Structure 1
Amino acid sequence: MQGFASDRLRDEVILVARILLVLLFLIFGWGKITGFSGTVGYMAHSGLPLPWAAAIIAIVIEVFVSIALVIGVYTRPLALVMAIYTLATAFIGHPYWTMSGTAHFEAEINFFKNVSIIGGFLLLYVTGPGRYALRSTL
């Protein structure tokens, strides 16, 4: 519907959405940087090959790709990168189908939260970065 405040504030809402969508990744990515040895230990515990490389990949994606999305650089392709990364972390970090009891319930919640976040990244891919971006052509 034309004339709604959301139409007039479209670009501002997209900017706020970009920030909110990656806030979780920025917070936990920073934690991975400051607790790098613990991050490597978690990656090893999760059964990932080359846990130190997995930790570096996680940091690059969670921190640097998130910053790029906030400032609006290569928004569309990076939104897809984040969607794929979030899907991978859902399967690796929240395998609720292998658990029982409380652990099953908690992992299932987190798995489907990841699925919901993927939906946000796909919307960002479709909408693009809006007007407030360093490079809004992608």
Structure 2
Amino acid sequence: MTRPADSFIIFIARLALAILFLWGGAMKLLGYAGFVGYLNAKGVPYASYAAILATVIELLGGLALVLGVRARAVGFLLAGYAIVTAVFGHDFWNMTQAAAQQEAVIHFWKNVAIAGGFLLLTVTGAGRASIDGLRAPRGGGLRG
């Protein structure tokens, strides 16, 4: 069981992670054709389907983070998503221009760090300030 202060910090962490994904998903949706073109240029297989999947994951995942719904599963899914996007979207090992390569290195490791945050969420859960927290049984009584 988490203390109220812990739950508040977990809530803030969930919001910080969600902002990135809600914004990214909205931008993908608004610039959908450009996003599909970007995925094609990166050599992502089935780019039109990958674009739909990425947009849905970001929007629904971000919303689930804000609400604290199935946070452990969502955290695990988004950790994997962050790693996949790091590998496909920030492939610095394929770049020859030094400035672009340096920027891609930063974004690659940023995605790895975000995946680490999601793995922590997988372990901690959403905390009390969440739908998951509202559904969790409260201690004190005998369990049958």
Residue of structure 2 in register with 1:45 after alignment: 41
Which amino acid in structure 2 is aligned with residue 106 of structure 1? Answer: E
Q: 1:16-35 to 2 correspondence within 5 Å?
A: 16-35=12-31
Gaps of 5+ in 2: 137-144
Residue of structure 1 in register with 2:111 after alignment: 114
Residue of structure 1 in register with 2:51 after alignment: 55
Q: What is the CA-CA distance between 1:24 and the residue it aligns to? A: 1.0
Contact 2:79 2:115 in 1 (8 A): yes
Q: C-alpha separation between the residues in 2 aligned to 1:130 and 1:8?
A: 8
User: Residue 68 of structure 1: which of 64, 67, 71 is its match?
Assistant: 64
Gaps of 5+ in 1: 1-6
2:131 partner SS: coil
Q: What is the CA-CA distance between 1:16 and the residue it aligns to? A: 0.8
- Larger Rg over CA atoms: 2
Q: C-alpha separation between the residues in 2 aligned to 1:96 and 1:32?
A: 22
1:89 aligns with 2:101: no
Q: C-alpha separation between the residues in 2 aligned to 1:51 and 1:122?
A: 27
Q: C-alpha separation between the residues in 1 aligned to 2:113 and 2:64?
A: 21
Q: What is the CA-CA distance between 1:8 and the residue it aligns to? A: 4.9
Deviations 1:64-115 (A, max 9, x none): 1110121011110110000000000000011111223111111000000011
User: What percentage of residue pairs aligned between the two structures are identical?
Assistant: 44
Which TM-score applies when normalising by structure 2?
A: 0.86
Residue of structure 2 in register with 1:135 after alignment: 132
Contact 2:21 2:61 in 1 (8 A): no
Q: C-alpha separation between the residues in 2 aligned to 1:46 and 1:63?
A: 22
Point out 4+ residue stretches in structure 1 off by more than 3 angstroms.
Answer: none
Question: Kindly tell me: are residues 122 and 112 of structure 1, through their superposed partners in 2, closer, same or farther at Cα, counting changes over 3 Å?
Answer: same
What's the C-alpha RMSD, in Å, of the aligned pairs?
Answer: 1.2
Which amino acid in structure 1 is aligned with residue 15 of structure 2? Answer: I
1:126 aligns with 2:123: yes
Q: C-alpha separation between the residues in 2 aligned to 1:128 and 1:22?
A: 15
